[in-house]
Amino acid sequence: MNKATYNIYKLDEFFFEDLGPESVIRNHFKIHNSNNIIYEEINCQVKKGKFKLLLYVNKPKKNNPTWLNMLTTIVEEPSQLNGLKSLYPSFVLFFYKTDQCFAISGGAGHMVIDSLIDRQFGFKIIERLIDTSKDDVRQLSESVFLGIELASNRFFKSDYSFNDDDGFGKYYKGVHVFIDNERLRKIGIETKKTKLLVKGQLGFKIDTKIDFDNLQRRVEKISSLLNEKPNIELNPFKKLSNHELNRIMKNGKKLKDLLDQHLCNNYFLSHQANKQQEIYHPSLLNYLNSSRIIVSFKDLEIEIPTYQSITTRIILGYLNIDVENVQFPKFLELSKEISMIPPKGWTTFNSFLV
């Protein structure tokens, strides 16, 4: 059987300003392959359709599972465990043309292209398919900017629509909604079912198994759909990536450096005024479900329990730094050296203190 269910991703056009998708992809894997995880480019024979193809495949070596050593200590004959090996191959397949690029992946392939992904793509599709008054919303994951609530993951029974939801001050991280079969034809889906559950977040997914021809048709239909006017705007602002923050210039300075300076000024003034400024990890839902956070400072790592509010004062106190008399230059230096590191099992990335 050559059918499977796929998440479809879209690469952010921001990266194609200087180079086309093909060059950006090849350069990305050239850099990634220097990290001992090798993705090999494989030639594709499919030539039809509006999009060209690029395929990268990772063929890992067989390794002992992490739990094998523990098992060998409790079995009578460890030799009976010989041959237990882990093998997790993965791939990324790109559909690209001059100014647009989509991708699907298998295994851990999506993690390799995470920094290139348009993080609003899944929402852009739902915005153009949804009937805000009729469609049944089943799940909403969101971060909240106002009030005491920080984040939520809500599930609904039936007959809940976006007309019932107050999106003010919210940033949607995931939306699951039932879309009727007539509008699903806009993205190349023919089904006898009245509705299907559509999942929009980093990628776009419908739980239907498709072959390559269906996949190719779906990508081309989605490409056309993105030119249509949205029926609703779910996240009415753009979340800038680190690449964008480092490339956008203002008055001769990188936007990221200006924002860091502004945040540091704000934190320092609040610190002097003895105001509570809580600090959170960007992976908010994971952070809130964790019992601890690891704070790194130079060669030192300290675990801080998350049952208390983590503030600048708390962190400086754990690091035995004079909380009351710290001066701004020292505060600015600390902000660049202190980071919050996710515990094992989280997506690996750091966030600066300010």
Does residue 195 surpass a pLDDT of 90?
no
Q: Are residues 96 and 32 in the same domain?
A: yes
- The answer to whether residue 36 sits within a structural domain is yes
Does residue 334 surpass a pLDDT of 50?
yes
Q: At what angle do helices 328-337 and 255-272 cross, to 10 degrees?
A: 120
pLDDT in tens, 246-271: 777 777 777 777 777 777 777 777 76
* Structural contact between residues 62 and 86, judged by C-beta atoms closer than 8 angstroms: yes
As to burial, measured by CB atoms within 10 angstroms (0-12 exposed, 13-18 middle, 19+ buried), residue 351 is: middle
- The answer to whether residue 213 sits within a structural domain is no
Q: Are residues 234 and 279 in the same domain?
A: no
Q: Say what percent of the chain tops pLDDT 90.
A: 14
Q: Are residues 34 and 64 in the same domain?
A: yes
Distance CA 116, CA 29 (A): 11
Q: Are residues 114 and 131 in the same domain?
A: no
The contacts of residue 206 (CB under 8 Å, 6+ apart) are 184, 189, 196, 197, 198, 199
Q: Are residues 135 and 105 in the same domain?
A: no
Query: What phi and psi, each to the nearest 5 degrees, are found at residue 5?
Result: -100, 135
Distance CA 100, CA 11 (A): 7
* Structural contact between residues 175 and 201, judged by C-beta atoms closer than 8 angstroms: yes
Q: Are residues 37 and 109 in the same domain?
A: yes
Distance CA 92, CA 235 (A): 27
Q: Are residues 140 and 181 in the same domain?
A: yes
- The answer to whether residue 215 sits within a structural domain is no
Q: Bigger pLDDT: 352 or 97?
A: 97
Give the model's pLDDT for residue 54.
93
Does residue 105 surpass a pLDDT of 80?
yes
| Weakest-pLDDT range from 137-146, 228-237, 276-285, 340-349 | 340-349
Give residue 146's pLDDT band: very low, low, confident or very high (50, 70, 90). Answer: low
Domain that holds residue 280: 249-352
Q: For the chain, what is the domain count?
A: 3
- The answer to whether residue 91 sits within a structural domain is yes
Distance CA 173, CA 168 (A): 14
Give the model's pLDDT for residue 342.
58
- The answer to whether residue 216 sits within a structural domain is no
* Structural contact between residues 239 and 201, judged by C-beta atoms closer than 8 angstroms: no
CA distances from 7 to 99, 123, 207 (A): 21, 13, 9
Q: Are residues 92 and 77 in the same domain?
A: yes
- Mean pLDDT on 8-22: 87
Q: Are residues 114 and 129 in the same domain?
A: no
Give the model's pLDDT for residue 348.
31
As to burial, measured by CB atoms within 10 angstroms (0-12 exposed, 13-18 middle, 19+ buried), residue 206 is: buried
Q: Are residues 10 and 99 in the same domain?
A: yes
Mean pLDDT of the chain: 79
Does residue 352 surpass a pLDDT of 60?
no
Give the model's pLDDT for residue 227.
92
Q: Are residues 153 and 260 in the same domain?
A: no
pLDDT in tens, 49-102: 889 999 999 888 777 888 888 888 888 888 888 888 877 889 999 999 988 999
The last residue of a domain, from among 82, 98, 118: 118
- The answer to whether residue 11 sits within a structural domain is yes
The last residue of a domain, from among 118, 133, 155: 118
Q: Which residues are registered as beta bridge partners of 296?
A: 301, 339
3-state secondary structure the chain: CCCECCCEEEECHHHHCCCCHHHHHHHHHHHHHHHCCCEEEECCCCCCCCCEEEEEEECCCCECCCCHHHHHCCCCCHHHHCCCCECCCEEEEEEEECCEEEEEEECCHHHHCHHHECCCHHHHHHHHHCCCCCCCEEEEEEEECCCCCCEEEEECCCCCCHHHCCCCCEEEEEEEEEEEHHHHHHHCCCCCCCEEEEEECCCEEECCCECHHHHHHHHHHHHHHCCCCCCCCCCCCCCCCHHHHHHCEECCEEHHHHHHHHHHHHHHHHHHCCCCCECCCCCHHHHHCCCEEEEEECCEEEEEECCCCCEHHHHHHHCCCCCCCCCHHHHHHHHHHEEEECCCCCCCCCEECC
Q: Are residues 101 and 158 in the same domain?
A: no
- The answer to whether residue 82 sits within a structural domain is yes
Does residue 131 surpass a pLDDT of 80?
yes
- The answer to whether residue 218 sits within a structural domain is no
The last residue of a domain, from among 79, 94, 118: 118
Give the model's pLDDT for residue 11.
92
